[in-house]
A and B are shown apart, each in its own frame.
Chain A
Amino acid sequence: MVYSMELGNHIRRCRFNQNELTQQELAKAIGVSRQTIHSIETGKFVPSTVLALKIARFFQQTVEEIFYLTEEETA
């Protein structure tokens, strides 16, 4: 069996828990573009360790609390 691993995240939930923060506001706080936050949220872009740590620090959580790996059977 072959498994592929994908990166999931709870950024959207974290944003809403934090006074319904917009993507733009989060992007500004982290120092990236809104499009980058949107791409990370939808799983189209995998952030670097530095960016993942920045996001986690912003929400005052650990990286594992925000990002997780999903395993999918591919064959």
Chain B
Amino acid sequence: METFYHHFLGPFIFISLLLGLALVVVIPKTRLAKYCMVSERYFILTHLCGIVCGLLGLLAIFLLPEETVSRYWWKILILPFVYMELYLLAPMIAQGTTAIFDEKQTFNLGTAGGMTLGATIIIMASIVVPLLHSGFLELTLLYPFYLNVVLLLFSSTTLVLFKRA
């Protein structure tokens, strides 16, 4: 897997992200921007993807060998969410945030962000520190762990707030 990652998957991820970023810069300047539709379904799908990626990332951290997770697994598992967010950026730059999120979605995203910030402070202090001390979590996995916790909490809170009516 490591050879495959270093020879194929790694360069593919790097190039695809570069290409994605280039498209984000180019698309808003062209007519293609109006075809980048962001619907309610896409909003829900993005956060469902965030929940799945976050969960899989956390599972990988605890189930797979530390070395493989810290080297590439966490990057691979978070990739679908990154691609979905990249797609959001093009119409966001072209038309502004208000054109792609309605005010309830914006409000829900803000509330979810605040709640996630509060929850991660508690989680990092009450769970991560004991995990690090007991050796269940390696220091090299601290960043992937934090990233996946944030992703899972943010996506699930956004979705719950959005669906609650």
| A in complex with B | yes
A residues lining the B interface (CB < 8 Å): 27, 31-36, 38-39, 42, 44-45, 47-48, 51
Q: Nearest Cβ distance between residue A49 and chain B, in whole angstroms?
A: 11
The 10 closest A-B pairs by CB, nearest first: A32-B102, A33-B40, A36-B104, A39-B165, A38-B165, A36-B102, A45-B104, A44-B165, A33-B102, A48-B103
Q: A36-B105, A39-B104 are in contact. List 7 more A-B contacts (CB 8 A).
A: A32-B104, A33-B105, A35-B40, A35-B163, A39-B165, A47-B103, A48-B103
Give every chain A residue within 8 A of B107 (Cβ-Cβ).
Answer: 45
B residues lining the A interface (CB < 8 Å): 40, 43, 102-105, 107, 162-165
Please state if B162 and A35 are interface contacts (CB–CB under 8 Å). Answer: yes
* Bound Cα distance from A31 to B37, whole angstroms: 13
* Bound Cα distance from A2 to B22, whole angstroms: 57
Q: Nearest Cβ distance between residue A8 and chain B, in whole angstroms?
A: 16
Please state if A31 and B102 are interface contacts (CB–CB under 8 Å). Answer: yes
Q: Nearest Cβ distance between residue A29 and chain B, in whole angstroms?
A: 13
Give every chain B residue within 8 A of A35 (Cβ-Cβ).
Answer: 40, 104, 162-163, 165
Give every chain B residue within 8 A of A33 (Cβ-Cβ).
Answer: 40, 43, 102, 104-105
Please state if A32 and B165 are interface contacts (CB–CB under 8 Å). Answer: no
Please state if B103 and A34 are interface contacts (CB–CB under 8 Å). Answer: no
Please state if B164 and A34 are interface contacts (CB–CB under 8 Å). Answer: no
Give every chain A residue within 8 A of B104 (Cβ-Cβ).
Answer: 32-33, 35-36, 39, 45
Q: Nearest Cβ distance between residue B27 and chain A, in whole angstroms?
A: 21
Q: Nearest Cβ distance between residue B62 and chain A, in whole angstroms?
A: 34
Most buried by A among B163, B164, B165: B165
